[in-house]
A and B are shown apart, each in its own frame.
Chain A
Amino acid sequence: MVHKVLSEQGAGSITTTAIRIRESGIERRARFRGLAEPLSLLVALAVLIGVFSLLNERFLTTSNIQNVLTQSAIPLIVAVGATLVILLGSIDLSVEGVMGATGMTWILLSNNSRGGADLGPWAWVIALGVALLLGIASGLIFTALKVPSFIVTLGMWYVGLGIATMLYGTDLLPRLQDEGLKGWTSRISFGLPNSFWVALLVIGLGILVLRSTRIGRVTLAIGNSETIVRSAGLPAFPVKVAVFAIAAVLSGLGGILATVQLDIGSPTVGSGVLFIVIPAVVIGGTHLAGGKGGILRTVLGVFLLTILNNGLILSGVESSYQSAVTGAILVAAIVFAAWSQRDRLRVAK
């Protein structure tokens, strides 16, 4: 043994065995971890569906499933953007404000009960442009002025609400007149609600951006360490602004769909969405510190929360209790989801 260590040959063989053992261990661990996390989410989802279908036979009917899918479509679209922002290690709280401003802009430029201009497709472009501007503004203030995203987007939420309220003015409710658009979101094509098809498209694009584009990869890198990103000469600044812009446009799209669904323009069209989106991202397993997570996990998180809401209503939980019950379950779910990340001697701040 001693001589083996001494001679060149011996040292070589010891180290190569050590390397090989370590390499196989690495792969085993990685494979296990890759499966374990989404699996526990799927199990939770299955349990939830099982419990609710036992409590109420209406839960697993086609019409209720389509109902759940319609309900989940808008949170899904918004959550794709929120996931990207959270992967940066930032947060976007402006969701509901951007939804309000975009939705209101859109309906006032479309065929509505107040009359005015009907710009058709241009209404979409201009409304989403408003969302884009709000997103770029958040992104620039966040990156150039180095204000925490939490504060910037909290402000931008109210800026968005303010824009929506100003547009709303004191006139009558703007009601959607276009018969083709009324109820479009929940109408079924090829077995699924239209709005859910839009959500699927957004999810697909989101996954493509995150997995296979520079923006997506640098987003993950920034979430890990912005210092390293800068010292590697990667474009941290533009990517951060772009991610906030993408998130805002997706919120805006959600705002337009929500307006279509509601039939009328309202500044508070996005009310309650933030409360589903952020927890869904976290329950999905995306780290609030950034760098780890993904869009498919968020999708599972949104389903979990939407089904929870839908199931509670169907199971006859009194509406006065409902928000308390949802809140409590949410906290429990987050504690459960974050359990594996606990570490001794590591303080949560």
Chain B
Amino acid sequence: MSNLTTTPAVLHLNNVSKSFGSNRAVRGVSLSIQPGEVIGLIGENGAGKSTLLKILSGNYRHDEGTIAVNGREVQFRGPADALRAGIGVVHQEQSLFTNLTIAENIEVNTPIGRGGVNRLGLYNWRRLYADAAQALDLIGSHLNPKTRVSDLSFVDRQMVEIARAIRVSAASHTTPLVILDEPTAILERTETAILEREISKLRDIGSVIFVSHRLDEVMRICDRVVVMRDGELIADRTVDDVTEEELFRLMVGRETHAAVRSRRSIDPANSPVISIHDLTRAGSYADVSIDAYPGRVLAILGTSGSGRESVARAIFGAEGFDSGSVSIAGYSGRQLTIKKAVALGVGYVPAERKTEGMVGEMPADQNITLTHPGSAALGPFELPRRRLSLARAWFEKLDIRPREPGHTLQDFSGGNQQKVVLAKWLNSSHLKALVLDHPLRGLDPGAAETVNAQIRSVCDEGTAIILIPDTIDEALDIADDIVVMRDGRISGVFDLGHDNPATLDLLERML
């Protein structure tokens, strides 16, 4: 870090602002990043992070202020300009062509007449593969560039995105600045470890802006953390003189509710709502037996190959199984379908909220009454006014904001969307169990906390919850029972009423 003063900053923002109508999304942000620095950028959803990133990636033009890259002032007219300047953004939504090979995705911006594309626009495949392999090698990945992206796991796709981001700047001999927009939001534990290693490698060739919701990760990976709130950059600290709690407070503007759940052991007088016995699906999981009790949260931990998602979907009837049994509230049948599961009082919040959990184009109130119309229905009809008042009640109860049940659901933020999805199931008169598949995925800590609080209160009202958490901490935070799966089999069962497993105990059983 001795060259801090001699070399120009990789990126220097001076008083950058951006408004949309009357909404000032980014206000007077100034920031400077040195070569080899890893900066953590945190903030709640709507704090202006994405707008700032879109300015840096050339998708938006800022209204005020200046941006300088490597000491030279720049004006981005489009994403291609930003790439050429050496700024590569790895977006939260993946931006790879899944039907094409790794090599093509990395080389997609190679201009005609350079690299593997000759002056007639014809591709020289051997050259393209070699160049892509070189870019992958820079970040220590040994993926075969001829592989199609659809065959890659999520973390490998991130690698390809990073390789593409540094490829352009490597071609133009500038120091790359790689912006990772929540790269770990949906990664499993082991995969996060791989990504962390790659980020530390990036340090040697360029700088990194790391956007994340996981404060522990930010503390581990970054040199410096900047916090955004309400469009402003309110804090800029080195990781050595800030704590996780302080960051949370800066970000959310209030203290954490570190309310530890008081736990009891399973009451022997109670009988389980959902009981699965020796459930097996060839190639996915085998001999899985789990009992979920009313008023308890049961978390299933495991890595991406553990089969825990498949088990959860089997309970809801969304995936078949080969042998064993699932009994729900006393009913036990060979063929469990989604329809049957819903009729028996099971709800399912899928991991893919946008595609499986909600109808984004529909108003929020209609989403709530979609499965269980409840009092909004009169025979086969639905009464709009009753539906609206029903939805208002749920908006109040779950603190869904803004209080506009008539707006289309896609206009709400992620956390509020998730609460609407929850309300859809809670509107059932006979809800007995909820299966939650990564319910906090992609939510910022503030939103995650309120969703978690709702899950707890639902549980306390006597619903059995089966949870597939994103992290071990999430499980330790909210669960009463923890089941750990490894390679399709149960490797550990803990009743937190009397067991007190350490994170490492759980991790060891997962790997």
Which residues of A pack against B, CB within 8 Å? 1-2, 5-6, 11-12, 14-15, 18-19, 22-23, 26-27, 29-30, 211-215, 217, 220-221, 223-225, 228, 231-234, 291-292, 344-345
Contacts and interface: CB of A to CB of B under 8 A. Distances in A.
Contacts of A221: 97, 100, 108
B13 to A, nearest CB: 21
B153 A22 contact: yes
Contacts of B319: 344
Interface in B420-451: none
A345 B318 contact: yes
Interface in B314-329: 318-319
A1 B508 contact: yes
Contacts of B98: 224, 291
Contacts of B108: 221, 232, 234
Contacts of A11: 193
A27 B144 contact: yes
A345 B143 contact: no
Contact of B122 (A5, A26, A27, A212): A212
A39 B315 CA distance: 37
Contacts of B112: 214
Given A15-B194, A214-B117, A26 B147 contact: yes
Given A224-B99, A233-B109, A18 B147 contact: no
A344 B190 CA distance: 28
Interface stretch (B76-84, B400-408, B493-501): B76-84
B190 A15 contact: yes
B96 interface: yes
Nearest to A212: B123
A224 B97 contact: yes
A211 B121 CA distance: 11
Contacts of A220: 97, 99-100
Interface in B65-105: 78-80, 83, 95-100, 104
Interface in B190-216: 190, 193-194, 197
A19 B194 contact: yes
Contacts of A23: 142-144
Contacts of A29: 151
B318 to A, nearest CB: 6
22 contacts: A6-B504, A12-B197, A14-B190, A14-B511, A19-B194, A22-B156, A23-B142, A26-B147, A212-B123, A213-B122, A220-B99, A224-B98, A225-B97, A231-B59, A231-B79, A232-B79, A232-B108, A233-B78, A233-B79, A233-B80, A291-B99, A345-B356
Contacts, number: 92
A17 B255 CA distance: 41
A233 B83 contact: yes
Nearest to B117: A214
Contact of A213 (B99, B121, B356): B121
B96 A228 contact: yes
Contacts of A234: 108-109
Contacts of B356: 345
B398 interface: no
A1 B506 CA distance: 12
A297 to B, nearest CB: 14
Given A1-B511, A291-B98, 16 more contacts: A11-B193, A12-B197, A14-B190, A23-B143, A26-B144, A30-B148, A212-B122, A213-B121, A215-B121, A220-B99, A224-B99, A231-B95, A233-B79, A233-B80, A233-B109, A234-B108
Given A214-B112, A217-B123, A5 B151 contact: no
A220 B193 CA distance: 34
B370 interface: no
A217 B100 contact: yes
A255 B504 CA distance: 72
A345 B59 CA distance: 34
Nearest to A208: B122
B331 interface: no
A225 B108 CA distance: 14
Contact of B123 (A5, A27, A213, A223): A213
Contacts of A19: 142, 194
A214 B318 CA distance: 42
B152 interface: yes
A232 B122 CA distance: 19
Interface in B349-387: 356
Contact of B508 (A2, A27, A233): A2
B507 interface: yes
A27 B143 CA distance: 10
Contact of B121 (A14, A26, A214, A224): A214
A344 B197 contact: no
Contacts of A345: 318, 356
Contacts of A224: 97-100
A325 B152 CA distance: 42
B95 to A, nearest CB: 5
Contacts of A213: 121-123
Contacts of A22: 153, 156
Contact of B125 (A30, A212, A214): A212
A14 B152 CA distance: 19
A18 B156 CA distance: 12
A191 to B, nearest CB: 31
Interface in B152-198: 152-153, 156, 190, 193-194, 197
B9 to A, nearest CB: 25
A18 B100 contact: no
A275 B324 CA distance: 49
A27 B102 CA distance: 13
Contacts of A214: 112, 117, 121, 123
A30 B151 CA distance: 7
Given A23-B143, A27-B147, A224-B97, A15 B193 contact: yes
B509 to A, nearest CB: 10
Contacts of A14: 190, 511
A344 B142 CA distance: 33
Contacts of A217: 100, 104, 123
Contacts of A344: 318-319
B344 to A, nearest CB: 19
Contacts of A26: 143-144, 147, 151-152, 156
Contacts of A18: 190, 194
**Interface-central residue, A12, A15, A292, by most chain B CB under 10 Å:** A15
B133 to A, nearest CB: 13
Contacts of B143: 23, 26
Contacts of B122: 212-213
A215 B123 CA distance: 11
Given A220-B97, A233-B78, A344-B319, A5 B504 contact: yes
B121 A15 contact: no
Contacts of B507: 5
Contacts of B79: 231-233
Minimum-distance CB pairs A-B, first 7: A233-B80, A291-B99, A212-B123, A224-B97, A214-B121, A224-B99, A26-B151
Contacts of A27: 144, 147
A231 B98 CA distance: 15
Nearest to A214: B121
A6 B422 CA distance: 38
A6 B95 CA distance: 34
A291 B96 CA distance: 13
A15 B197 contact: yes
A189 to B, nearest CB: 30
Interface string B114-125: 000100011101
Nearest to A1: B508
